[in-house]
Homo-oligomer: A and B are copies of this chain.
Amino acid sequence: MPSKTETRRENLRQRLIELGEAVITEQGLPALKARSLAVEAGCSVGAIYNVFPDLHHLALAINGRTFKRLGEQVAGAVSALTDTPACERLVAMGLAYLDFASENTAAWTALFEIDMAVGEEIPHWYMAALEVLFDHIRRPVAELRPDLSPEDVEFLVRGLFSSVHGIVWLGLQKRISAVPRHEISRMITLILSEIGE
């Protein structure tokens, strides 16, 4: 049984993740600050650093949850489509990615804003969450391109993820390239429909 101190630590950890998730969801990663989190959690700033080595690790934990939700939404888009051609399943996942990014823009942006410098160790559970996402893409890709080596299937899976990401990213940025959502959907559909044709 965990000691009282351990339980208290774990409770604070969870509470900080939830509070931080709300901050990131509403205002984005740059708004995540120890001082205001401490006020909201009713603890000292020092107490935060007692359960997380730094804010980076808190942000990582929050991103891990976002990745999980993203994976679930993408998986949910194809779970009922067992008899659907592989190509349409790919499109459904791409559009689910767009939906998630549109509806959770700040949290989704935080996934790619977080500083993951080379050399720093990426937590195992983080890579596992990414793998779950790639797994869903891998199935239809392997069906559509049985001629490819396993290595190339892998490159195509990651390439397709990056492609859809690029379309959504540039499309949602309120910048030079911003485009209406139905046009983003159409781009995703056209690109993914090319696979294995």
Listed in ascending order, the chain A residues whose CB lies under 8 Å from chain B are 112, 114-118, 122, 126-127, 130, 148, 152, 155-156, 158-160, 162-167, 169-171, 173-179, 183, 186-188, 190-191, 194-197
In the complex with contacts A155-B183, A155-B186, A183-B155, A191-B163 CB distance below 8 A: yes
- In the complex where A112-B175, A118-B178, A176-B122 touch, is A155 in contact with B187 (Cβ < 8 A)? yes
Residues on B with beta carbons closer than 8 Å to the beta carbon of A117:
174-175
Given contacts A175-B114, A194-B195, contact A162 B170 (CB under 8 A): yes
Most buried by B among A130, A177, A187: A187
What is the CB-to-nearest-CB distance from A136 to chain B, in angstroms, rounded to a whole number? 17
A-B contact sample (18 more), CB < 8 A, given A118-B178, A155-B183, A156-B187: A112-B173, A114-B175, A116-B174, A126-B176, A152-B190, A158-B187, A159-B186, A159-B188, A163-B166, A163-B167, A164-B166, A165-B170, A166-B166, A166-B167, A191-B191, A194-B194, A194-B196, A197-B197
The interface residues of chain A, by DSSP majority, are classed as helix
Residue on B nearest A144 in the bound complex, by CB: B194
Known: A167-B162, A171-B162. A176 touches B130 (CB 8 A): yes
A170, chain B: closest CB distance, angstroms: 5
Residues on B with beta carbons closer than 8 Å to the beta carbon of A183: 155
The complex places the Cα of A135 from the Cα of B35 at a distance, in Å, of 51
- Does A187 contact B166, Cβ atoms closer than 8 Å? no
Residue from the list B112, B122, B162, B195 in contact with A187, Cβ < 8 A: B162
- List, in ascending order, chain B residues with CB within 8 A of A177's CB: 158, 162
24 A-B residue pairs with CB within 8 Å? A112-B173, A112-B175, A116-B175, A116-B176, A117-B175, A118-B178, A122-B176, A127-B176, A156-B190, A158-B177, A159-B191, A162-B163, A162-B166, A162-B169, A162-B170, A162-B177, A162-B187, A163-B191, A164-B166, A166-B166, A166-B169, A169-B169, A194-B194, A197-B197
